[in-house]
Amino acid sequence: MKIAIAQLNPIIGDIDYNLHKIRHTLSLASSQGAKLLLFPELAICGYPPKDLLFYNSFVQKINHSLHKFAQEIPSEIQVLIGTVTPNPLAEIQGEKPLYNSAALLANGGIKELFHKRLLPTYDVFEEARYFSPGSRPNYFNINGIKIGVTICEDLWNDESFWGKKNYPSNPIEDLMEADLIINLSASPYVCGKQKIREEMLSHLARNYHKPIIYVNQVGGNDDLIFDGYSFSVSKKGEIIARAKPFAEDLIYVEYNPKEKDLSPLLPPHPLYKQEEEEIYNALVLGVKDYAYKCGFSKAVLGLSGGIDSSLVATIAVSALGKDNVLGVLMPSPYSSPHSITDAQQLAQNLGIKTEQLPIQDIMNAYDDVLYPLFKNTEFGIAEENLQSRIRGTLLMAIANKFGYLLLSTGNKSEMAVGYCTLYGDMNGGLAVIADLPKTKVYSLCKWINRNQEIIPENVLVKPPSAELKPNQKDEDTLPPYHILDDILERYIHRRQSPEEIAKAGHSPETIQKVITMIARAEFKRKQAPPGLKITDKAFGTGWKMPIASRWYK
């Protein structure tokens, strides 16, 4: 039996758009002789739909569209697709009103419905807010083949792999009668996650002697990036098929009833060899989809001649094309000459248009207006930040005037400790590298330059500086970035205590300083634009910390 695995990029809430893609994929799969076509979790509405699910009209349109699409299914193929379905027992039993479901479509109708059993509520997931869990094992038969159905999290609770359980039940253990297990997913990208997925499914396949097919959503949705990478494993745990990363794809596998196993029809698409290449392609997809799905075709950003803006500009060109990216240079009296020449060289290497808007006259105007209040005070952080806020205002004006998407360029290290200016360099519609530590910014830029110099060499070697006062360097305020990033990794990602971090060789004074800065910067992060998530703990929907608190003392 030939099985088609459809890895699609939906637009959340645009059911007509999504169904157009689904119909086109059905036509292709049917023409290639597939007998079963698989789509990702919530493929009809896109994942995650969030509070759109509270609108009855939205849910009704999903179900109306599902029934209409079911009538179009040719008799020679069956379709398993992720959708939202009402919970008829919700009012009687006080449950959530919806299920996260997989619908089996065949013979012009909805043949069966299967409901997701494990509903994640950690990190970026809030599924218990909307859905009731399914309560029974999910099976269906096709041509005498018994197929078990799981949805995303249902696969992620096997004690033999993780060494613990996060939920009372393990849906895989309840599918021992299945010949084949299918998983419909919308699993967000985190750097290195595909390796874990494949290790986990290979372990499950070997442990339970079942072949498994995993079909994942692809695309950028707000701060989340979905990498796709749909794949299949044989009952021996061998990877027999793998779809492309960060792109739509349609791949096929063959199920052999005699062997009760899957066999490949084409070699698996290779994994990335370098982490930097994987991250870069993730960020490119994130920018491309955010712009497209929000209605932007062009982007603007400030070019400071620094490494962060250089990286963001390079990503933007890969995502949108060089003719659709504008770089704005805004020198002040404190800008070094090489900042301008480095920015200009970068723009020339990328082939993007630039504009130069000196800000000294605007700074003078601010000084004149504020003089009655600021007289008899020393130059300080308020005056420094005015420069950043002038630049942010100019960039927003350009974005508003011409309908550009403003990309902010702050990295994760700066966002963590608040080394950024609210209503200044934090202005923007999308924070491209907000989940990328400074040390990783450098390694990514070196990867970009692996074959030819795109980012000027001087950008990579000069000391980082905000250039808001004479001879300023980041290390005047912050620990060296290799120290800062290690502390941030241990504190934010591993949740280590100050005492545990100190065992790695960091001074207690530096650790406490960093932790205090993290806490005090929370109000800034709450007002930041969405930042593309590439790690397991990003400042975004999965970071839920109080602002008015004193836990860091």
Q: How far apart are CA 485 and CA 440, in angstroms?
A: 9
Q: How far apart are CA 313 and CA 456, in angstroms?
A: 13
Q: How far is CA 369 from CA 64, 376, 388, 421, in A?
A: 60, 15, 17, 21
Question: Positive or negative, the Cα torsion across 107, 109, 149, 253?
Answer: positive
In the numeric block, the tokens 């290195």 are attached to: 192
Token pair of 425 as six digits: 């360099």
CB neighbour list of residue 327: distance below 8 Å, 6 or more residues apart: 300, 301, 302, 303, 309, 313, 343, 346, 347, 352, 353, 354, 355
Token pair of 418 as six digits: 């608040």
**DSSP for residue 172:** G
CB neighbour list of residue 176: distance below 8 Å, 6 or more residues apart: 208
- Mind giving me the DSSP string for 448-510? HTSSS-SS-HHHHHSPP---SSTT--GGGTS--HHHHHHHHIIIIIS---HHHHHTTT--HHH
Q: How far apart are CA 430 and CA 176, in angstroms?
A: 46
The catalytic position among 21, 41, 191, 524 is: 41
Known catalytic residue at 76: no
Known catalytic residue at 152: yes
Residue 211's nearest CA partner among 241, 250, 169 is: 241
Q: How far apart are CA 112 and CA 396, in angstroms?
A: 51
Known catalytic residue at 116: yes
Strands 231-233 and 299-302: unpaired
Q: Could you give the angle at the alpha carbon of 74 between the alpha carbons of 70 and 76, nearest 5°? A: 125
> Residue 196: what are its φ and ψ, rounded to 5°?
-65, -45
Q: How far apart are CA 279 and CA 240, in angstroms?
A: 25
> What is residue 447's three-state secondary structure?
helix
The catalytic position among 116, 210, 235, 440 is: 116
The catalytic position among 45, 127, 152, 191 is: 152
- Mind giving me the DSSP string for 518-551? HHHTHHHHHTSPPB---SSS-SSTT----SS--T
Contact 510, 485 (CB under 8 A): no
Active site residues: 41, 116, 152
